[in-house]
Amino acid sequence: MKAIRVHNHGDAEEMEMEDVQQPKPARGQVLVKVHDAAVNPVDWKIREGYMKGSLPGSFPYTMGQDFSGEVVETGKDVTGLQRGDRVFGFAQGTYAEYALASPDELARVPRSVDWVGAAAIPTAGLTAWQIVMDVAKLSNNQAVLIHGAGGGVGSFAVQFAKKVGARVIATASRDVFSYLQSLGADQLIDYKSERFENRVKDVDTVIDLVGGDALARSYGIVRKNGLVVTTVGPADEAAARKHGIRVTQFLMRRRGDELEQISRFMEVGSVNPHISKILPLSEAKAAENICQFGHPHGKVILHVG
């Protein structure tokens, strides 16, 4: 089978398409035929060695973790999934024609959702879901400021926050304002020309997907006992204490049951991924460079087969 693999840490030039043996599922695993794979910032961070100690732990390894596809074989003790099931979620090395996955990290693809839309969900959608629902626990009439709202995680966070009735303030570039308005964003701030702290105060939660100066300036616009959640960090505990608020640096957990909940929203068309670019597997280098350097508005997808 074809797979995009790396043999050393480095830039996208380390990625090569190779012919490798199709894996066999072990006990508790399923083998999936990958239709589409999403490109995420974590992929290039692993490739460049910023996440040493995390999986995958040895070379060579196949890139990618998000996918949509079809179950083609099940290992021993697998229940609830069978050959032919349409699934999406996380697998080991999804920049490939086939990959191994754990059933508890998968959900079923609704018949009304295409492969590309499903592939866009796992990391970005689950990150946004867990921040909005599990960490911030946003509710009706609360105010949330989302930095980087035009990206993959940000656009999902806007949609989930609106689902629970929150008032959404979004920072983004002006060229995605109309898209964010279509998702229900209540207030838009152009981060290139405006300082959000001049227009916003006393929000219940800040969801920071940008880091740096935007994160540093966010502590002062949160109400007492409010919350700053950052996926980038580092979380400044001293600044949070100074302002009488809470801060947490968030890391997504792979949960198939929560993917199922997102799937139900997608089935009725009430949550929609934003796709920035679709490229063939052979252009994986270009896809990763777009994700790393191009600041795409929405998800970059690799079409595998």
pLDDT, one tens digit per residue, over 130-148 is 999 999 999 999 999 999 9
Percent of the chain past pLDDT 90, that is, above it, reads 89
Q: What is the pLDDT of residue 50?
A: 84
74-85 pLDDT, tens digit each: 999 999 999 999
Mean model confidence pLDDT for the chain = 95
**pLDDT of the residue at 58:** 80
Contacts of 28 (CB under 8 A, 6+ apart): 75, 76, 77, 78, 102, 103
Query: In the prediction, which pLDDT does 295 show?
Result: 80
Kindly report, residue by residue over 31-74, the tens digit of the pLDDT: 999 999 999 999 999 999 887 665 566 889 999 999 999 999 99
Residues ≥6 apart with Cβ < 8 Å to 226 = 202, 203, 204, 205, 206, 245, 246
Q: Which residues contact 151 (CB under 8 A, 6 or more apart)?
A: 124, 209, 295, 296, 297, 298
Question: At 107, phi and psi to the nearest 5?
Answer: -140, 165
C-alpha separations of 190 from 149, 218, 254 in Å: 11, 15, 33
Q: Which pLDDT score is estimated for 81?
A: 96
Q: List beta partners, residue 33.
A: 70, 98
Report, as an integer, the average pLDDT of 159-179. 96
Q: Which of 44-58, 106-120, 178-192, 218-232 has the lowest mean pLDDT?
A: 44-58
Alpha-helix residue ranges (DSSP H) falling in 38-121: 41-47, 115-119
Structure confidence at residue 294 (pLDDT)? 87
Decide the pairing of beta strands 246-249 and 275-280. Answer: unpaired
Are 302 and 287 in contact by the 8 Å Cβ rule? The answer is yes
DSSP string, 198-223: GT--SEEEEEESS-HHHHHTTGGGEE
> Phi and psi dihedrals of 210, rounded to 5?
-120, -45
> How far, in whole angstroms, is CA 254 from its chain's centroid?
11
Mean pLDDT of 189-216: 96
pLDDT digits (tens, 9 = 90+) for 249-300: 999 999 999 999 999 999 988 888 989 999 999 999 999 999 999 888 889 9
Is residue 234 helix, strand or coil? coil
What is the number of residues in the chain?
305
pLDDT at residue 56, rounded to an integer: 60
Task: Kindly report the pTM of this predicted structure.
Answer: 0.94
pLDDT digits (tens, 9 = 90+) for 1-38: 999 999 999 999 999 999 999 999 999 999 999 999 99
pLDDT for 55: 55
Q: What are the CA-CA distances from residue 61 to residues 52, 151, 192 (Å)? A: 13, 27, 39
Tokens of 3: 């797979």
Q: Give the mean model confidence (pLDDT) for residues 89-105.
A: 97
